[in-house]
Structure formats: C-alpha cells, structure tokens
Chain A
Amino acid sequence: MSKTSTTDPAPAGGSEDQDLGDAGAQLSTAPKEEAPSLPSLGVIGWARWFWRQLTSMRVALLLLLLLSLGAIPGSLIPQTGIDATKVAEFRKNNPTLGDVYDKLGMFHVYSSVWFSAIYILLFVSLIGCIVPRTWQFVGQLRGRPPGAPKRLTRLPAHTTWRTTAEPEQVREAALALLKRRRFRAHLAGDAVAAEKGYLREVGNLVFHLALIVMLIAFAWGQLFKAEGFKLVVEGDGFSNTLTQYDDFKSGNLFTQDDLNPFSFRLKDFTGTYEMSGPNRGTPRTYQATVDYSEGAYGKDRHQTVKVNEPLTIGDTKVYLAAHGYAPVVTVRDGKGEVVYRDAVPLLPLDGFATSSGAVKVMDGYRNAKGEKEQLGFQAFFVPTYNGGAMVSQFPALMSPVLALNAYHGDLGVDSGLPQSVYQLDKKNMKEFKDSDGKLLKKLLKPGQTMQLPDGAGSITFEKDIKEWAQFQISQQPASGWALGGAVAAIFGLAGSLFIQRRRVWVRAVRGADGVTVVEMAGLGRSESAKVPEELGDLAGTLYDQAPAAPDPADSPDPAQEPGTTTPVPAEGADKQ
C-alpha cells in the first residue's frame, strides 16, 4: 500500500488529499461524497443511481431529520395506542379534522405507512452503508498502514531534527517505540508507517449494527406481544388464560399458545397516603401481596408487587396498575334467605377514590309474589365521607359510606349482548319506590341494611370492605435483545466518538551532508489537538535514542517551508 508515484504529488496550493495520496486514504471507511448527477438511461442505471442516493450520507441525514419531524405529531395528537378515549373525544370535537387525521394515520403515527416508510428507508440506507464499510474495514485490518507520503511537512503535525544516529538505528528505534505504544507499525522503504485507533471504526460499526438489532427486537416484540388487564378482589385469583382477562390486546402474530402458564391469588392490598400538606391524599405506598405458582403444578410462592416492582414469570410481567374498593354486600329476599353475597368492585372516579358501580343480582331471587326477578343497585362508595355531597375527602377508609339506588326487573344480561359490570342497563328495570313515591335510595354505613319496600327483601352493606387491585399482565418477547442492542450501542457510540484514529510516520534518511535527518509526521481523521501532542511525546522519546547532531552553520531545515509553520517545543521534551 506504499506510495508508488514518484512524481511530485501536487503543486503548491493543491488540495490536501492530493498531497497526501494514499497516506490519507481510508483513515475511515466513511463513504465518499459524490455530487448528485443524473444517471445514464436504463432501469439498471436508475436502480443503481437510486441505491447510491439512498446509501449516501446526505440522504441518510435527510431521513434522520424526517424521522424526528415525523415523530412530532404523535406526541401532540392523541394516539389510539396510548389513549383511545382521548382519540374518540378529539374526533367528536373536531369531526372534519378527525377525518383528515384518520386518512393521514395521525391517530396511530408510529404504525402509519409514512412513518414506517421513513424508518425502513433509513434502515435500508444504514445497511447499505454498513455492509460495504465492514468489508472495507476488514480489508484495512488485513492490510498494513499506508507508507509515508513524500512530503511529510504537508501533514497537519510535523517535526524534524538531525541526529548522529544511523538511519537504520533510528527506524528500528521508531518501530520498537511505536509497537510499544500499541501502534500497528511496519517498515516501508525509508520510513516507518504506523496506525492506531482501529477501535473507532469497530465502535462505529457496532453502534450501527446495534441499532438494527434494536429495531428488529422492537418489531419482534410488537408483533408477538400480549397485554391484558385483570381486576382481582382480595382473596380472588387469576390464571393466565385468555378467558380470564377483562381486556386483552395482542400483536399481529401472537397466538393463544404463547401465553405463559401461571396463576396467582391476591392476598392483600395495602395503600398509604399523604396525610397533610398540599399533596394530601397523594399515594405514598401501593403494594399487593400475591401467592403465585408457575405451570399447572407449580409450588406456591409469595411475592409483593409494587408500582415499580412487577412480578416476573418468564417473559411475562405482572404489574400493579390500579386499585379501588370492593364493598361486600348481602342481598336477602322477602323470606330472609341470602340470595347474593359478594364483594362488588367499584371504579374510582377521582384521586380520592369516590367510586361507582353496580350490584347485579341475576339468579335465585324471587319477589314477594314468588316470581323470578332480577335486582339491580346503582352503588356509590366514598371511603372518607364528611357529610354533604358524595365526594370523598381522602382515599383511605376513614369513614366509609355506600349509597344505593334500588331497581328490579330484567337486567338484560341474558340477552347475550355484552354490558359493563359497572353500569346498570335500566331499560327493563323498574325503580323501587320509597314512601314518597320517589326512587328508593339510602346512604349506608358499614353494617347497615336498606329494606326494600313491600317485603321485597333487603340489602346489607357488610363491615368487611375489601380492596381490589388491577393487574396489567404483559408479555413482550425479545426485550432482552433490545437491551443487549442498547448496551452495545452505547459502547459502540463511545468508541466511535472518543477514540481517535491516527497515523504516524517516521522517516530517517541520510542527508546530502551525510548526517541523518529524522522526520516525523502525524495525521488524524479529524483535526485534533491530541495528534500533535502525541507526536511531540513520541518525538521526545525517540529523540533520547537519536540525539541531535550539531547544527551546520545556520542552514534552514531541509524540509521546512519558510513561513508555513511555527516551531514549538515538543510535548515529550519538557516532560523529561
């Protein structure tokens, strides 16, 4: 790889690259910038032109900018994947704009065609850039650092002196010194050529490869992910099958068999809250104690699930997502027989756990006439009631009350249409009337009972108030790969940004007067103060082994171009 041309490389004022010839080449594997020019005709010509454009730095840069631009709308416009109710609200408030957004995929930006197009093009460009660079780099590793350019004075850092030592001695000393400093060095003609910092290129390639790994891992995770929610009242359990979920979403390629077999039982939920100050009522601890077992015959194990500490089973994680109260109510018929006793989970409406829901008695109830009927109660629950409106003053159970409105008739649950367990469908329900002929309603304290009129029975708010926890159960495969890719990306990035790739040449030749002239020069990929510093250090060390010869009468340095440069003492010189 040494320089073959014997002619003067360039006239004064020629460009730097011409001056350096091979010496400056391939200090990185960065693609050459070509001016965009129109291709010759033909499909292949166009394809080649397109490919060259796509893999050029300029286009990669534009795609990067487009990617960041394209990500913006997703952060400002509600997204179905994040909050579907907000999207519905937006559509209702802006019907025209909503339609336009729909056509543009603005409600699911990150899975829209145009956003995917940007990042897929970017990654194709990336691959088209990395593969040739890797081959080139392998070639560089198998080759040797290029030989010294003809005129070392033209390099960014340069030094020279005349020495009493023989040229061979100097070259040997330089070779040994450079090898000791872990340069890849070899003797080429009258000079030693050395290079160091290959890890920069390694880092660069690792970083970009890691990005591809991360993208694939993320895509894989999205395709095979499963995510669902389950509300569990204290004492109840959950086993990981599709039918048990309240709400379930999965990636396009997910199948039921991918669900990990496990089950758990919620033993206890504990929440504590800030008692005073401006953030009174803000949760301080939230934790659910569960017993879980893996597989069909797994052993029961005990675990506490907190907000930041999910229960991990294989690649499934069980998170604590929400919590609320489930008052236990008992419904009796006119004969005093218990027809219903259960904890009724209610949904919190505000930060202080003012909750609402419904009690539905579907089977087993007969009215005073002995006819089969269903009962329904609208329920409002407040954990801390201070009188007045049904609004909670604090999220903990300090003075709980339960307000009930009573109905009877047909709940509509047998029609086969799905309905919310938290709402009553009152279409076929009749109100129970109180003595004034109004809807029967009552505010109950724990242990109190509301009698239904005309011997229709009663409903009791039991003293035992349970809590429920909602769990998010998600399974995202390949997250280990994503993490590995991320770690590799950081290390690669650090390598490619912090390591300098540089070359050093040491030429030692006998001058016209028979005295050895040593010339050293350094070249870095980017102009860095480190290159001359290191060169000075090397020169200082080499100087000790090849001390200066007495100066001939005031002749200027043979290689020094007057006025080009200003001498400064070498680094190594004043260190010793």
Chain B
Amino acid sequence: MTLAAATNENLANLSNTLIYSAMAVYTLAFFAYIAEWLFGSRSKVARTAAALTAKPEAKKAPAVTVNQAGGTAVLERPKVTVRAAAGQRDVPDGPGAHGGDEQGDLYGRIAISLTVLAFLLELGGVIARAASVERAPWGNMYEFNITFSTVAVGVYLGLLALKKNIRWLGLFLTTTVLLDLGLAVTVLYTESDQLVPALHSYWLYIHVSTAIFCGAVFYVGAVGTILYLFKDSYENKLASGGRPGTFATSVLERLPSAASLDKFSYRVNAAVFPLWTFTIIAGAIWAGDAWGRYWGWDPKETWSFITWVAYAGYLHARATAGWKGRKAAYLALLAFACWLFNYYGVNMFVSGLHSYAGV
C-alpha cells in the first residue's frame, strides 16, 4: 500500500515536471514563431491589394489551383479549371507567417519542431498524471486544462501532418496554450487524487474525452474566425480603396484569404458539431444512470445546450442570406464564448451537479 502510494507520488511529481518542461519548450516555440513573423515581415508581398485593385480582366485571376503538378507528359491530360462563385473576391492565400522569407521559414520550422517536442512532453505529463491516479486524467479543472491544451496542439499538429494549410495558426495557438497551462499550474492546480463515486463510470472516458476534444477543435475554429474577421475587414478596406496600416498589411498579407479562413473555420466547426451533439447525449445517458434523469437543466447541461444551439445557429446562418460572412462569424465567436463560459464560468461561479474535487 505505502509502496504503491510512493510510486503514485513519484509519478505525480514526474507529471508536474513534464508539464513545466512542456511550458518551457512552448515558450521557446512561442519565440521561434515570433521570429518567423518578424523575419517574414521583410518580404513585401501585396497580393491582396494586387488582386483587388487590378483591372477587371486581371481580377479574374484563379481563386483556387488544384494539384499543380508539373511535367510535359501530364500537360496533355485534361485539366480541371476552377471558378470562384459569383460575388466572391478572388484573393490568393497569403504565403504564411514566414512571408516567403527563407530565414523566417527556418524559424517557423524550428518553432514547429519545438511545438512537437513540447506536445510530447505535455502528453507524457498527462499520461503520468493518469498513471499516478490510476484513472482517466479528467477529474478536476487542472487535469482538464492540461488535457485540453494537449489535444488542441495535437489537432494542430495532426492537421499539419495532413498537409493542411494551417501553419499560420502556430503563434496564436502557443500563446493560448501557455495561458491555459499558466492558469492550470497556478490557479487550478489540484493534488492528484482519486475520484468521488459519482465519477466512477466508463462514461467518464466517453463523455469527458469527447468534451475536451470538441473544445480543442472549437478553439481552433474560433481562432480561424477571429483572423477571418480581421482579414475580411482588411480586404474590404482595400477593395473600397482604403489604405490599411503597415502592421496590419504586414501581418494580414501573410494569412490565407478571408474566404479560405472562413471556409476553414466553418469546416472545423461543422466537423466537430456532430461530436459535440454526441458529447451532450453521452452526458445525458450518464446523467440518467447517475442522477436519475437524463436531462434536468443543471447549469452545465443548460450551458452545453446553449452552446449547441449557438453553434447550430451558426451553421444555419452560413446558409441564410443576410447572415453569411461576418454575421455568421460573430455567431461562431458567440458560440465559442458560450463554450468557454460553460467550462470556466459554470465551474467557478455557478454551483451545480458538475462541481467536483476542488474547482
């Protein structure tokens, strides 16, 4: 018994060490991303302006290019040409944070390598924590937070591995991951411990893991939406003949076009929405076993319902005339704010059945 306890204590300490190491490496990655953006600002690209202010003929530049493979042999094959839909601007995607600058690109690659390292450290920390408590590491907010940021970074790295154009997200992601972890180790830290009986259920694995995953993906979508709003007003300004500030130009030129960002965040949100539905339903089934009713308007239940409805509103708004674009984007942010409040706000300010172990 005491031996086991000692092992557990060692594991818990190991977990803490790993989390702190991960934070240190994330910080390094953060600086590397900054360096990428700084060096990238040397390149003077103004594709957006060029695309938007050029003469009508030249304005019809390609919106999307599909699979640009070279070689004369392939040239004989039929080629698919793609048109942008009516009413959309044909703005090319930016080159990414490095802005085509070689040194910037190098720092960007260093930053990603560091992110991978930090991710592995953090993952180790989460696993060690789980081993020390001999259960899923989702019993309190500290454990939620460390798992949450691990998953968010995992999603980012996964999309990168799938060769999605998402490298631009790095700086924003590491910034929030550092904030999230900082909050976890200072305010929310809880000694590793066992669960109260109400949490002893395999539904813990199903319900909480999907909740964390959804949150991480919603977060990625929200970052895309915020950047979309900036980029969209930047493009609007250019299109109406305005001159955005140099900083805005430098940063926003390197991001994907507003249309791409919008599409990206829509896809991310839409892809995870069924899973969020599942999370709520899994929670309801668990509640049916644990509390004697599957739906009882507990604050956490209510807020996950509100979040669900807000995201449903966003998905509908995207298909509704007069709500497309910016208005839908505001809805997406509102929905994410609901998610955040459901996580932090409900746990801290509202008492309900979901209050366990410390915070």
Chain A binder among B60-68, B180-188, B230-238, B243-251:
B60-68
Contact A307 B198 (CB under 8 A): yes
Q: How far is the CB of A491 from chain B (nearest CB, A)?
A: 9
Q: A497-B273, A497-B274 are in contact. Are A564 and B60 (CB under 8 A)?
A: yes
B196 within 8 A of A: yes
A381, B232: Cα distance in complex, Å = 68
Which residues does chain A contribute within 8 Å of B306, judged by CB atoms?
68, 71-72, 75
Contact A567 B79 (CB under 8 A): yes
A227, B288: Cα distance in complex, Å = 13
Contact A568 B291 (CB under 8 A): no
A470, B96: Cα distance in complex, Å = 62
Which residues does chain A contribute within 8 Å of B313, judged by CB atoms?
61, 64-65, 68
Q: A566-B62, A568-B67 are in contact. Are A474 and B77 (CB under 8 A)?
A: no
Contact B62 A227 (CB under 8 A): no
Q: A277-B193, A486-B281 are in contact. Are A573 and B78 (CB under 8 A)?
A: yes
A563, B56: Cα distance in complex, Å = 10
Which residues does chain A contribute within 8 Å of B81, judged by CB atoms?
157-159, 564-568
A109, B305: Cα distance in complex, Å = 14
For window 161-214 of B, CB contacts with A under 8 Å fall at 191, 193-194, 196-198, 200-201, 203
Contact A569 B316 (CB under 8 A): no
Q: How far is the CB of B354 from chain A (nearest CB, A)?
A: 11
Q: How far is the CB of A184 from chain B (nearest CB, A)?
A: 22
Q: How far is the CB of B130 from chain A (nearest CB, A)?
A: 18
Find the residue from B75, B297, B316, B323 having the highest chain A CB count within 10 A: B297
Which of these, B65, B67, B291, B302, contacts A566 with CB under 8 Å?
Answer: B65
Q: Which residues of A contact B (CB under 8 A)?
A: 15-16, 30, 33, 57-58, 60-61, 64-65, 67-68, 71-72, 74-76, 79, 81-82, 109-110, 154-161, 218, 227, 274, 277-279, 282-286, 306-310, 317, 319, 321, 472, 474, 476, 479, 482-483, 486-487, 489-490, 493-494, 497-498, 518, 520, 527, 529, 532-533, 535-536, 539-540, 543, 548, 563-574
> Given A567-B81, A569-B67, 14 more contacts at CB 8 Å?
A156-B82, A277-B193, A307-B198, A308-B198, A476-B293, A479-B288, A490-B277, A533-B66, A536-B67, A540-B78, A543-B77, A568-B66, A569-B77, A572-B77
Q: A274-B193, A536-B80 are in contact. Are A57 and B319 (CB under 8 A)?
A: yes
Contact A308 B201 (CB under 8 A): yes
Find the residue from B67, B78, B270, B284 having the highest chain A CB count within 10 A: B78
Contact A278 B78 (CB under 8 A): no
Which residues does chain B contribute within 8 Å of A74, judged by CB atoms?
297, 302
Can you identify 25 A-B contacts, CB atoms within 8 angstroms?
A57-B320, A58-B320, A75-B303, A75-B350, A158-B81, A161-B78, A279-B357, A282-B196, A284-B194, A284-B196, A308-B198, A476-B293, A479-B288, A489-B281, A490-B281, A493-B273, A497-B270, A497-B315, A533-B67, A536-B80, A539-B80, A564-B83, A566-B61, A570-B78, A574-B69
Determine the residue in chain B with the shortest Cβ distance to A319: B292
Q: A274-B193, A474-B293, A533-B66 are in contact. Are A527 and B85 (CB under 8 A)?
A: yes
B346 within 8 A of A: yes
B226 within 8 A of A: no
Q: A74-B302, A309-B289, A490-B274 are in contact. Are A565 and B67 (CB under 8 A)?
A: no
